[in-house]
Amino acid sequence: MSPINLGEIPAAPQNNDELAATHPSLETLQLLATRRSTVARMLTEPGPNAEEVKTLLRLASRVPDHGKLAPWRFIVFEGNARQAFGDKLVEIFKKNEPSADHERQEFERQRFMRAPIVIALISRVQPHPKIPEWEQVLSAGAVGQIILIAASAMGYAVQWITEWLAYDDDVNKLLKLSEGERVAGIFYLGTAQGPITERARPMPGNLITHWSAS
C-alpha cells in the first residue's frame, strides 16, 4: 500500500475553480532529479490498489491537451486478467514466431504477470480541423510521463515499455482498439525487488542552443 494518504491529494477541481498558478515544491524537484524506471522483471507485489490506480490515472490525465480532446484512454490489467491476456497473447506470438522455443512462449504467456498492475496507455487520435495529429500524440506522451512521476510519488516502481505487442495488429484486436487508436505505452507497476541504478543520461548542455538573429 502507498505510504501516501490518498485523502490528502486534492479532489479534482471543478471547471473555472480558482487555482494556484505555481506550486513551489522541493520534494517534486527532488523526485524529478532522481526518478528512475525499474525494469519490469524487477517488480513484485504490492502494486497500487484500485483506489490508487484511479487516483493515479486522474492525475495523469491532467496534461495539456489542445482542443480538450482527451486523445488517450487506459486499459487496466489486474489479477487474473493479466494471465488471461497472456494466454491469448502467446497464441499470437506463436503464430508470428512458430519456431520460438517453449521458454520464450512461456515468457509471453507470463508477460503481464511481471507486475501486480499493468496499464496500457492508448493514444486515440481523432481527425480534427484544427488540432494536428502530432499534438494529440504529444498529449498522450505527456500522460505517460505523469504516470511515471505520480506512481513514483505514490511509492510504486514503474516502467514504460512497448515491445513487439504494441505494434501488432492482432494484439490491437485483442485489446479491442478502434480506428485511430495505438498503444502509446504499457506501464508495469509494483514494488522494486531490489536497488536500481542510474542509467546514462544526455548532457543538457549538448541539447541546448540559444537562438540569436545573427
Strands (E), the chain: 43-44, 72-78, 117-124, 157-161, 181-192
Q: Which of 93, 112, 160, 188 binds ligand FMN (CB under 6 A)?
A: 160
- Which residues lie below 8 Å from residue 95, measured CB to CB, with a gap of 6+? 170
Q: In angstroms, give the least distance from the CB of 39 to ligand FMN.
A: 6
- Other Cβ atoms less than 10 A from the Cβ of 173: the count is 10
Binding residues for ligand FMN, rule CB under 6 A, total 10
123-152: which residues touch ligand FMN (CB under 6 A)? 148
Contact 190, 115 (CB under 8 A): yes
For ligand FMN, give the closer residue by CB, 1 or 113: 113
Give bridge partners of residue 189 from the DSSP assignment.
Answer: 117, 158
15-74: which residues touch ligand FMN (CB under 6 A)? 36-37
Query: What is the C-alpha to C-alpha distance for residues 23 and 163, in angstroms, rounded to an integer?
Result: 36
Stretch that binds ligand FMN, among 68-76, 78-86, 159-167, 174-182 (CB under 6 A): 159-167
Q: Which of 47, 86, 116, 185 binds ligand FMN (CB under 6 A)?
A: 185
Which amino acid would we find at residue 84?
A
* Residues that bind ligand FMN in the complex, under the rule CB under 6 A: 36-37, 148, 159-163, 185, 199
